Amino acid sequence: METLKKELTARERFSNNFEHRYGVISGYIDKDLSQIGKWLSDIVQLAKENKVEEYEPSVRALQVLLEKNQELRELVNKTIAEGLEVHKHFEPTAPYFIENIEDLLNTLNYIITRAPEFLPNVSHSAFPMSGLFVYMMATPNGWLLFRNETFNQALSLILKEWCAYLDSSASLNVVTTKSGGWLSPESVKKNNLDQFVTEEMKLEDPIHWTFKSFNDFFHRQIIPVCRPIDGVGNDHVIVSANDGTVYRIAENVKREDDIYAKNQPYSLVHLLDNNFVDDFVGGTVFQSFLSGNDYHRWRAPISGRVIKAEVIPGYMFSELLNQGDHGFDPTAGTYSQGYEANVNTRGLVIIEHENPAIGKVAVIPIGITEISSVEIQIKPGDYVKKGDELGWFSYGGSSMCLVFQPKAIKQFTVVNPLPDNNSDNGPFIRVGAQVAIANIK
């Protein structure tokens, strides 16, 4: 007799392994599911109270798209319905939900015309897009929607318009020392701002501490003495490109692999977007993730000549599809980071060391959720020294991969978390700190 398989509801899919979602482990999303529901209810209410007659251009473009594209409109409606099921379960008393496309457009428009306030007890208040989509992403139709090229492009335009606002001086209203400001005493403590802000900055500009916009604050420069570079002048020492937490060290990486598999393999063809793939077959990937209050600029792990520097467009809110019994895995976090490295918007900087024993090293900053904005400040032909700044993340979630050629690494000096698909408790690493020893004589 045929065995019947239980079909999971959207709520069950969402709650399964929720604690391993990227937003949760990195601090972008609250661990308390009811708090997410309450926050989302509040922002939908605010969006309704502040409804405008005409949406911002990018939101209006999405509205027109959904009016004309019936198939996409139906997919959005199905995704909203599944997300609504989850929302009502975890916060049944919340009076406001994303119940239809109008609610979604209203809330998107509200979010992109404002900079996030600092709310010390609501972690995802700083990342409202993550909060808005959190229930929808971990659903079967959400899997289809956030991989839909047409929807992804429309969403990308919305996020770019928001990023432009966060780059402007208008966003400075939340970068102040007042309550709810990112320079308030509570934020100074929570975000370790004493490592970023000098007394001279405070004296020069007592209100904004010389920051020019919200994004200027988000990718703030650190005081150099707080991030010294290890092994200066010693080519044996390879350093971390970023602040973060180690996710995985994967060896003998294949040219091509099944990026949808549950064990999250890396596929060099996808990861490198077909650039210098043959040089890295059989090599090693070192991946880490950044939390919301980590330093969001990244640096060269070795010295050498830059031979590639570009941004690769990709997904932003897509989560892992599992090949298990139910065909879906709702863990948008450490369970999805390997997958996201292969498909998300990401930078690609390849540095070639003069010693062939080290050879080429690929630095791959990955945008996850929100703006997914990767800014590269160097170009092919530039020579960089170990520890030199390569670029930064503007507003948004982020992860980082370093890819090494075969036999380039003699030994890693940080622990590889195990099991590798559930590693949200890896060791913290600081940018510029040694993470490996090169295999040179």
242-271 pLDDT tens trace: 999 998 899 999 999 888 776 778 999 999
Strand order in the sheet with 304-312: 383-384, 304-312, 346-352, 360-368, 397-404, 284-290, 244-250, 428-429
Neighbouring CB atoms inside 10 A of 325's CB total 10
Global confidence as pTM: 0.88
Q: Do residues 288 and 362 lie in contact, with contact meaning Cβ atoms separated by under 8 Å?
A: no
Q: Which of 23-27, 203-207, 351-355, 411-415 has the lowest average pLDDT?
A: 23-27
Q: Does residue 413 register a pLDDT over 80?
A: yes
Structure tokens of 99?
A: 């119940």
Cα(360)–Cα(275) distance, integer angstroms: 12
- What is the CATH architecture assignment of 227-438? Distorted Sandwich (2.70)
Cα(345)–Cα(313) distance, integer angstroms: 5
Confidence grade of residue 274 (pLDDT, cut at 50, 70, 90): very high
Cα(141)–Cα(329) distance, integer angstroms: 12
Helix (H) / strand (E) containing 248? strand 244-250
Cα(98)–Cα(213) distance, integer angstroms: 30
pLDDT digits (tens, 9 = 90+) for 158-194: 999 999 999 999 999 999 999 889 999 999 998 899 9
Cα(198)–Cα(256) distance, integer angstroms: 48
| C-alpha dist (Å) from residue 24 to 18, 31, 122, 433 | 8, 6, 12, 26
The upper half-sphere exposure of residue 279, i.e. CA atoms within 13 Å in the direction of its Cβ, equals 18
Q: Does residue 141 register a pLDDT over 50?
A: yes
Better-predicted residue by pLDDT, 314 or 31: 314
Q: Does residue 367 register a pLDDT over 50?
A: yes
Q: Does residue 296 register a pLDDT over 70?
A: yes
Q: Which of 96-100, 317-321, 344-348 has the lowest average pLDDT?
A: 317-321
- Residues with Cβ < 8 Å from 333, sequence gap 6 or more? 20, 21, 22, 23, 24, 25, 26, 424
Is the N-terminal amide bond of 356 cis, ω within 30° of 0?
Answer: no
Q: Which of 12-26, 72-86, 309-323, 348-362 has the lowest average pLDDT?
A: 12-26
Q: Does residue 202 register a pLDDT over 70?
A: yes
Kind of pairing, strands 434-438 and 409-412? antiparallel
Kind of pairing, strands 304-312 and 383-384? antiparallel
Amino acid, res. 282? G
Residue ranges per structural domain of the chain:
10-167, 176-210, 227-438
pLDDT digits (tens, 9 = 90+) for 10-62: 555 555 555 555 455 545 555 556 567 777 888 899 999 999 999 999 999 99
Cα(434)–Cα(357) distance, integer angstroms: 18
Q: Check residue 368 and give its pLDDT.
A: 81
E strands, 277-414, where?
Answer: 284-290, 297-299, 304-312, 346-352, 360-368, 374-376, 383-384, 389-393, 397-404, 409-412
Q: What are phi and psi of 389, to 5 degrees?
A: -75, 135
Cα(55)–Cα(51) distance, integer angstroms: 9
